Amino acid sequence: MIIDIKNVSKKFNGNYVLNDVSMHLESGNIYGFSGRNGSGKSVLLKIITGLYLASSGSIFLNDREIDYKKEFIPNIGVLIDGPKFFSNLTGLENLKILANINSKIGEKEILEALEIVNLTKEKDKKYSKYSLGMKQKLGIASAIMEDPELLILDEPFNGIEDASVLKIKNYLKSIKDKKIILLSTHIKEDLYELSDFIYYFDASHVRSLDK
């Protein structure tokens, strides 16, 4: 998979949040996004997923421009702005509902995703009883369970204990060869440990950082 972001800008109320941003993304790499709150990291991730439309510019998938008014990037797993699930259902029940949308996986793959994030023991607990870290784990599980080619994780490790963070990191390293992984995080150590390339967002512009 190759994604080219070409001269993408986004304005809100006449003000640029992103201004003429370009990136070349290829499978086999983890791309780290860094920058202060409000610097445009999540906005670009939402444009890539189609949650926002760019004010100008284009996004290409394997050299073909995507018309987000008609289509989206296929085979994508996303965690942006924190997880959102049905509070009265269990973690497992929530993931089954999501899996039924595409009908690509069954309970086996869901349970495997829950094991990766160390949430197996809590799978039958109602989401309303989940801690912040457990909610984050369920969000990551929902993003990875269908084995997507493009995986987007926005501040994924919030509230997660160290042992589970280590397990999830090792999983991301093990799968990156056949995927594009976009990782937005404020934690410098995670950024440099996981990322092959790092982009820094500041004042609506983005620049590449040397590791």
Tens-of-pLDDT digits for all 211 residues of the chain?
999 999 999 999 999 999 999 999 999 999 999 998 888 999 999 999 999 999 999 999 999 999 999 999 999 999 998 888 999 999 999 999 999 999 999 999 999 999 999 999 999 999 999 999 999 999 999 999 999 999 999 999 999 999 999 999 999 999 999 999 999 998 999 999 999 999 999 978 888 886 5
Where do the H-state alpha helices sit in the chain?
Answer: 41-49, 91-102, 107-116, 132-144, 162-175, 188-194
- Over its C-alpha atoms, the chain yields an Rg (Å, rounded) of 17
Q: Which two tokens stand for residue 162?
A: 């160290």
What pLDDT does residue 18 have? 96
Query: Which domains does the chain possess?
Result: 1-65+151-156+180-211 (3.40.50.300)
pLDDT of residue 138: 98
The CA-atom distances, in angstroms, between 188 and each of 11, 23, 45, 83, 140 are: 28, 21, 19, 22, 20
pLDDT at 82: 81
Q: Are 182 and 33 contacting, i.e. CB atoms less than 8 angstroms apart?
A: yes
Question: CA–CA separation, 85 vs 161, rounded Å?
Answer: 21
Query: What's the rounded Cα separation, in Å, for the pair 179 and 1?
Result: 7
Positions annotated as catalytic residues are 155
| pTM, two decimal places | 0.93
What pLDDT score does 208 carry? 86
